[in-house]
Structures are given as structure tokens and as C-alpha cells.
Structure 1
């Protein structure tokens, strides 16, 4: 596995705390999606549970490592979206899951070392689940480690965030991100990085999924609507059926480019008739709609309203 260069300092600081015997009982790994938080977490968990670690990394061959690879290690539990009684996957993490996790952490380690639990995505806990977790954070059992992973930590209560040692994953410098993309074999890395807003992980994913084609489709759709040629209803349905949050990301980018073009007296790529104030308002509306798609509101109506405002 290629270790991203922006992980190096974070890893070194965490391992220094481990060597001093000063690891916290709770970690919060947070930052934009695509920066490798989950790979970092798995690497750390493996090293912490390994019977023969080297510089914090797991040996890969001991009994503990083999059990982790098989998903049956008795001292590690991973909590994520569960299933409802009807078998449908939940869209949040609920209180019963957290209570079961807390009870698990109160038991003794079967290997005589760390008991580790991860919650991912931690920002998907509902209010009752977060309140239940608070007690575990306030009264941790001996040699237990709770690792929370969140792309949007602001959705979590401040009482949870304040009781965790926070590790922030931030966007690397453009030249660092570009070098990594080239190292892992991403073609047209510059264009992919620009589409991902400087996020190398997203750029890698989108390059594999040919998201740059989708980015161009979004721009063509917005230009068509602006000229009166597009159908907002049909367009909204098409967006909803194919990665709507990603399409809204690209829509926000396109409008930002439109505003920059106007500011520098260049030809506006979307040729929108909206004035500067309404362009900014629509840009804000795009981001609110991305957030609202996570909730219970009907996505088709959200997109229809948004695209209708653009037209």
C-alpha cells in the first residue's frame, strides 16, 4: 500500500505518544472524504493489536494479525450502519448499537492487551446514540481505545468532540497531491485534482469512475437550462438516479467558475442570466441541497426546486 505523504507527520506524532505510554482512550479522525482516514485507522489498529509490531506497523503474520484479516479478532469491534428489523440498512447509527458496543468494551481483553472499537461514520450517530456514547467516553475502561471516524465532525455534539484526541486530515499542497496521484498511476492527474478541489483521494476515485465526464455533463446541463433549452424536471430525475451529491459538487464548482469569470471580465462558461448576488445565493443553495439529500426530504423535489431556480 502506498502511504500518502500527508499521513507521515500524523502517524509519527501518534506513534510518539504510543512510545511514551500516553495514548488517549478516544481518537477522532476527521477531515474531508478521500484523504485516507480509514486506511490510517486500519493501519493503526493493526499495529496496536499486533503481537510483534515494528515501528508501529503490524507484522502481518502473528495470530492477532491473522484474526484481524479474517474479521474475527475478539478484541476489536467495528460499528457502522446496522440493519432495521425489515432488513433495510439504516441511514444512521442508533442507541442500541452504541449500548452494545459500550458493554463490549467493559469486558476483559482476550489477548491481554488493548480492547479497540471504531465507529464509522461517527457523524451518523443520532442524538440518543451520541448521548449513550458520552458515558463511555467519560468513564473509559482500562486499556480501551475508541476510534471515531468522521468526514463531517461538525455534525457531532461538541461534548463528544471535546472528549477525543482529534487528528485532523487536511488537504496536502497541490504539488504533493499531484506527485502522489502520478505515483499511484492516475492519468490526467492535473484535471482530476482540479475537479476534486485539490483532494487527491477523491481525484483518484473520480479518475477511476470517469467522473470527469460527469463533470462535463453537469456543466452542459446548467448551460442548457440557462439558455432555456433544458427540462429541469427531466434533468433533476437524471441527476437523482446517478450520484446526485457528486453532481451537486460539480454544479457548485461550475457556478464558482462562472463567478470568477465574471470577476475577471472573461466569457462566462455557463452564460447564466442570474446577477452576482443570485449566483452566490444559488451556490449556497447547491451546498444546502447536498446536505438535505442526507435527510428525509424527497430528493426529486429538492433537485427540481434547485434547478428551477437556476433556469
Structure 2
């Protein structure tokens, strides 16, 4: 698949540094989910390790390319969520994983070239793991490249961020995003892009998943709550059974629409009785609730508290 146009500047910059043998030892690829950071990373790593690259692109046929395809390249390591002793997947990257990585990087490259490490999601490292990674970042081995991927880079300690060269993926211009969505045969790209807040990758995924219908359902639920035709617990259960984080994204959008209508003095689309300040507060709480759903707290209680505030 052709790479998105908003990747091109980052790609050319990295290829230029590679040609000058000035590639940094650590890169932080960050930005909202849906902009293709991981596809960009795979493309770059394949070209970096390929035995016969052409303009940075992997040949797809050499020994290195075949080993990468098989997931058995000895000089390519990926660190992600591991398993606990009871076989349950962890929700964070722990210090033992980073210590094992450091021990591995202390050994020479088996193919005599680059050793490449991907930590994804890097923002899932706990404090001990991040501290352990600092030594590797401060004393990198020759021809070792660390690639950290983060949708929420602000969760990383400043000490980690400051030791990586940042490659930040930002939302493309609307016309650029619309052209890309049209090329992907997305139905009603304008509505999908609006729902995804201008993020073309999310717009494509959500259009395929029927998320536009969910967006309308969320807005109907909020209108019913504002009019007293629905109970917060009933709505909370319905959102929890669907895609709660996505529902909260659409709910936060709805609060913004209500605030804009309130600012112009017109009727609010969903009939909310909250004033502008209360809508701003509710928007902030909705976003915090979306983050909190990834933690140990009960999702139904988190949603109930939020929706009671709208009601």
C-alpha cells in the first residue's frame, strides 16, 4: 500500500541522516493513533536492515527481509506487553523486560550490522522500566537503534523524551486527509473525518466498523438524558457493552458542539442545560474517564458518575 503523504517529510529526513551516517541512537515516534506510525516504523526498519535496499526501501527477497517476514531476525527485538507468570497479559512494560534487553544489547550483532529495538507502546513502561532504560539511552552500543512508539508521549518521563529524537506525526490538512480517505474507498469521508476529529486513520477504521452509527446513538443518549427520558445507569451499561472509549470520544465531541451553540446564543443541539463553564468541565471529565477506563477502576461506575453530571 502506498504510504500516506504526511509520512513523506519524516521519511526523507531519516533517509538523509542515514545517508550521512548521522542516524541518532534513539527515536521517539509519537502522535495520535491512526496516523500510521507503526507502518512507517516497519517500512524504515525493513529498509535499514535489508541487504539490498533501494532508496531506503527493502528488496523483500534477501535473507534479512525473509527473516523479518518470519519474525526470526536475530538483530531485531520488539518489547511490548509481556505475560505474567499465570499467563495473563500485563498492562504495562516491566523492569525485567528492559533488563533482559540491556543484557542482549551488550552482545555483538549476529549479522555484524544494526541491532534494532522497538518498544511499543513505550508509554506503557512503568517507572522502574523507564528508569532501567535510561542507562541504555545514556550509554548506547555502537550501531544500536532504539525506536520508541507512543500514542501518549506525555506519559513518558522527561528524562526519556529528552534522550530521543522526536518524530511527531500530526494530523494532515483536511484536503490531504479527504484525498487519502477517498483513495481508500471510504464511504462518506467527510462525515467519517469529522467523527474522527480530523484523523484519517481513525476515520477509515471507524467507517469500516460502523462507528458513525454509534456516534449518532451517543448523541441520542445524551439528548435523552438532558430531556429526562433516560437514566444514567441505563446509558452507562449500554456504552460499556459497546465501545466505551469510543463512546466517550463522541460524547466529548458532543459537549464541544453544545458549548459552541451556547456561545452563539442559539439552541443547543442536544438540549443540555449545562452552561459554558460546566460543559468545559464535563468535556475534561469525559476525556479523563476515557483514560481511566484503561485502569483498574470499574467502568460502569466511572461512566455513571460522568453521565449523572450531564443529567
- Secondary structure, counterpart of 1:14 in structure 2: helix
Task: Give the structure-2-normalised TM-score.
Answer: 0.98
Query: C-alpha separation between the residues in 2 aligned to 1:67 and 1:99?
Result: 25
2:53 corresponds in structure 1 to 53
Q: How does 1:170-185 map to 2 (within 5 A)?
A: 170-185=170-185
- Secondary structure, counterpart of 1:134 in structure 2: helix
The Cα of 1:117 is off from its aligned counterpart by: 0.6
The Cα of 1:185 is off from its aligned counterpart by: 1.2
2:289 corresponds in structure 1 to 289
Query: C-alpha separation between the residues in 2 aligned to 1:286 and 1:233?
Result: 16
1:204 corresponds in structure 2 to 204
Contact 1:92 1:124 in 2 (8 A): yes
Tell me the number of residue pairs that the alignment of Structure 1 and Structure 2 aligns. 311
Greater than 6 Å deviation, 4+ residue runs: none
Query: C-alpha separation between the residues in 1 aligned to 2:73 and 2:90?
Result: 25
- Secondary structure, counterpart of 2:118 in structure 1: strand
- Secondary structure, counterpart of 1:78 in structure 2: strand
1:233 corresponds in structure 2 to 233
Query: C-alpha separation between the residues in 1 aligned to 2:234 and 2:86?
Result: 32
1:222 corresponds in structure 2 to 222
What is the RMSD computed on CA atoms of the aligned residues?
Answer: 0.9
2:127 corresponds in structure 1 to 127
Query: C-alpha separation between the residues in 2 aligned to 1:110 and 1:184?
Result: 40
The Cα of 1:265 is off from its aligned counterpart by: 3.1
Query: C-alpha separation between the residues in 2 aligned to 1:76 and 1:296?
Result: 33
The Cα of 1:297 is off from its aligned counterpart by: 1.6
The Cα of 1:243 is off from its aligned counterpart by: 1.5
1:247 corresponds in structure 2 to 247
The Cα of 1:54 is off from its aligned counterpart by: 0.6
The Cα of 1:109 is off from its aligned counterpart by: 1.1
1:110 corresponds in structure 2 to 110
Contact 1:27 1:166 in 2 (8 A): yes
Contact 2:262 2:275 in 1 (8 A): no
2:41 corresponds in structure 1 to 41
* Mapped pair 1:270 → 2:253: no
The Cα of 1:82 is off from its aligned counterpart by: 0.7
- Secondary structure, counterpart of 2:204 in structure 1: helix
- Secondary structure, counterpart of 1:154 in structure 2: helix
2:301 corresponds in structure 1 to 301
Unmatched 5+ stretches in structure 2? none
Query: C-alpha separation between the residues in 1 aligned to 2:56 and 2:107?
Result: 25
The Cα of 1:286 is off from its aligned counterpart by: 0.5
1:87 corresponds in structure 2 to 87
Unmatched 5+ stretches in structure 1? none
Bigger drift between 75-84 and 103-112 goes to: 103-112
Query: C-alpha separation between the residues in 1 aligned to 2:110 and 2:186?
Result: 43
2:64 corresponds in structure 1 to 64
Query: C-alpha separation between the residues in 1 aligned to 2:139 and 2:218?
Result: 50
Task: Give the structure-1-normalised TM-score.
Answer: 0.98
The Cα of 1:135 is off from its aligned counterpart by: 0.6
